Structures are given as C-alpha cells and as structure tokens.
Amino acid sequence: MTKYPPKATLDLHRIGKEIGHTPLLKLSSLSTDRVEVYAKAEWYQLGNSVKARAAFRIISEAILAGLLEGRTLLDASSGNTAIAYASFCAKLQIPLAICLPANASQKRKDILRALGTELHLTSELEGTDGAQAVAKSMAEAEPERYFLADQYANPANWKAHYHGTAEEIWSQTDGIITHFVTGLGTTGSFVGNAAKLKALNPDIRTVALQPDSPMHLLEGWKHLETAVVPAIFSEEHIDGYASVDSTGALDMIRFIAKHEGLLLSPSSAANLLGAKQLANTLKEGRIVTLLPDDASKCDEILQMIQ
C-alpha cells in the first residue's frame, strides 16, 4: 500500500496559507442606493473553488488522525470538491479516488485525470446520490485500501465555513450585513456560514437556495425534496428558502459578463439570481452570497451563452 510522506503534516501549514482570504466583491449592477449585493469570489484560492475550504479541512483532520496512512482518499463529488482534493493530494503525495457522475463537464474530468486522480464515473441519471452510493460500496469492500472522506456527512465540511468563510465575511463587511444567501449542495457552506453569522448577529436573515425542479443545470446543487439529504444538513439557522431556475441562471451569466466583466459558473450565477430576487423584496439591506467558482471549468456553458 502507498504511504503518504511523514512530512505531509508539515506541509499542511504551508498549503493552508493558500486557502481562504478571498475577495468580497460589490455587484454594482445588482445593487441600488439602499440595497447592496456583495459576493465572495471563491476561485481565488488553491483548488479554484469554494470547495477548497472543506476539502482542505477534511484532509487535514484525516492526516492528523492517522486515517490516511497507507490508504487512498475516496469521496463522491460533482467536480469542484474533487478538484480541490486533487490539488492538495498532489502536493501531499496522497493517492486519490473520486466517484463522479459521468455527465460532469469534460473539463473537470480532464483536470482530475491530469492531477493523477483514480476516476470512477457513475450513473448520469443518479447524480451525486449515485456517486455517493458507489463510493460507500467501494469503501466497504476494501476498507484497508480506502478512507471514505464523505463530504456530505463529514462535520469538517461545515466547520471550514464556520471558522473561515463566515469570519471573513464579518470582517470584510465590518459586521454590516443583513442577509446571507447561498445554494444547497453538500449544504456545508450554508450550514457553516449561517450558524456563525447568526452567532455573531442573530438578526442576520439567512435564505437557502434550491433549484426549482429535480431536472436542472446547476451542477452540485440539490433539490432536497427529491434528493438524498446530506447528513450535515440542518434547518436550525434557516430563515427561509427560495427557488432559482436554470434558465434564469444562464441569463444571469450573460448579464454579469456584460455588466461586471466576470465570467461565472451556473452555480455562482444562480446564487446571484437568488440574491437579486431577495433584493427586489427589500427596501434596504446588505446581502452577501458566495461565488463558488468562475467559468474556467465550464466550456460547455460558455458556448451555450454566446
């Protein structure tokens, strides 16, 4: 069995400096004099997406607990967490296996293979729920070979945001924030941010975003009514839900490219669509959301919006 180098624990501190501290952008085209919309540009970190935060904490905790000695890190992902894992595992010389829905973008597959990932493509029809089932079966069949990280049930996922992202938002807004909104996928980014922001100011309103139907183009998002609900999900800090549609997200990609000069992924655009829908109902406020990633891994989407 492959054993990760002992120096891996020493490398964690160095890699950790490349995680987080992402810029908070004001979206002037979505804001008014009395209602402002801000978003964290999460691709500005190693791993190039919001998932870098959870992936790094999951790997760090596993290394420090000795769970990766002689084993391969295994998880299911729609793409971004997998790429974050792959970036860190390459630096730490930890073998990685990922179960990925076959309809994930070709760019994501190419990146993962280039980074040395053992890739297992799963049913397009079952999405990440199917990928999770395959990963669980692999881990149960060969427990000595695989460590199942299980980002959908691992508390390190939401803790990465509770102790990181939310504190950055609070600092970057000088504590002046009235609403936090973001989409539900693994749900870690919502759960962690909402819990910490509520702890800092219970008056902050939190809105969880979902696709408006089970059939959608928002890679990584979950329609909770028809999907397997992640074990880390909690409704404790949710003040409301809102739905966004895929067509509207594609329109938002075009709008933001034209008015803000940013090329966003569908997930990022969907978060902005949800933020804009909320803004339209307010007389005043400061809304903060997340931009999970940019369009650099979404060649197919860019072609669609041209």
Hey, where are the domains in the chain? 8-45+161-305, 52-148
User: Contact, 235 vs 244, CB < 8 A?
Assistant: no
Q: Is 101 strand, coil or helix?
A: strand
User: Contact, 86 vs 96, CB < 8 A?
Assistant: yes
Dig out the tokens for 134 from the structure.
Answer: 């395959």
CA 107, 227, 231: angle at the middle one, nearest 5? 95
Angstrom distance (rounded) from CA 292 to CA 273: 14
Same fold, 8-45+161-305 and 52-148: yes
Query: What local confidence, expressed as pLDDT, does residue 115 receive?
Result: 96
Beta-carbon neighbour count of residue 155 at 10 Å?
A: 16
8-45+161-305 classified as CATH 3.40.50.1100: yes
Place of tokens 């406020």: 285
CA dist list (Å): 272 to 1, 25, 102, 122: 45, 12, 27, 30
In the chain, which residues have pLDDT < 50?
1-2
Instruction: For 235-263, write each residue's pLDDT tens digit.
Output: 999 999 999 998 899 999 999 999 999 99
Angstrom distance (rounded) from CA 63 to CA 30: 42
Beta-carbon neighbour count of residue 302 at 10 Å?
A: 14
Instruction: Find the helix or strand (DSSP H, E) in which 243 lies.
Output: strand 240-244
User: Contact, 249 vs 269, CB < 8 A?
Assistant: yes
Q: Is 266 strand, coil or helix?
A: helix
Query: What local confidence, expressed as pLDDT, does residue 1 receive?
Result: 45
Within the chain, residue ranges assigned H as helices are 8-16, 51-64, 80-92, 106-114, 127-141, 156-160, 166-172, 188-200, 246-260, 266-279, 299-305
Query: What local confidence, expressed as pLDDT, does residue 109 receive?
Result: 94
Beta bridge partners of 183: 209
Query: What local confidence, expressed as pLDDT, does residue 2 receive?
Result: 47
Beta-carbon neighbour count of residue 257 at 10 Å?
A: 16
CATH number of 52-148: 3.40.50.1100
Task: Count H helices and E strands in the chain, helices first.
Answer: 11, 10
